Amino acid sequence: MFELNYRNVIIRVVRGDLTRQAADAIVNPANSYMVMGGGVAGAIKRVGGKEIEEEAVKQAPVPVGKAIATTAGKLKVRYVIHAPTMPKPAMQIAEENVKSAMEAALECAETLKIRSIAFPGLGTGVGGIPIQTAAITMAQQLKKHLEKSTSLKEITFVGFTQESAEAFKKAVKQVFSN
């Protein structure tokens, strides 16, 4: 685990399973149709229950750049924030989509007035964005967000693999040490 404090907000990087994180919310890098098939979305649905997807689909379509919150089913969190990185399931995306999804997820968190949130890599699965690129983009958007007033007190970047955890650690160190 790696941790730093920025403007009285704890930013941490852990290696682990997003669905096992203790936070107010976790983020699902969704598609605009809110279909939770594979990757992170599939894992969230398997562990949390199909009611998460059912509630999300009722609010679809959700464009890239917007985010919605749903129940968290059986997960340890209060909400799942669905931030689309792609218009349709299983699409290759641009880095700009990661930036838009990160911004939308953080704005949704503010609307909910939550204190803690956990992020996986956004767009790093079928979206095809390299984890190092996504990690830097996500850390930059987080720093920009934290320059404003925020209800957030803890942000966790969750790397499912050692490589992804290392990419987040490197990105957070780089972005927040400047």
pTM score, two decimals? 0.97
Query: Which class for 46: exposed (0-12), middle (13-18), buried (19 or more C-beta within 10 A)?
Result: exposed
Percent of the chain with pLDDT over 70: 99
Burial, 170: exposed, middle or buried (Cβ in 10 Å; 0-12, 13-18, 19+)?
middle
* Extents of the domains making up the chain: 2-176
Neighbours of 128 (CB within 10 A): 12
Q: Is the pLDDT of residue 178 over 80?
A: no
- Tell me, letter by letter, the H, E, C secondary structure of 95-155: HHHHHHHHHHHHHHHHHHCCCEEEECCCCCCCCCCCHHHHHHHHHHHHHHHHCCCCCCCEE
Q: How far apart are CA 7 and CA 53, in angstroms?
A: 35
**pLDDT digits over 14-71, tens only?**
999 999 999 999 999 999 999 999 899 999 999 999 999 999 999 999 999 999 999 9
**Nearest to residue 21, comparing CAs of 153, 160, 134?**
160
CATH number of 2-176: 3.40.220.10
Q: What are the φ/ψ torsions at residue 40 (nearest 5 degrees)?
A: -60, -45
Q: Decide: 168 and 140 in contact? Cβ < 8 Å.
A: no
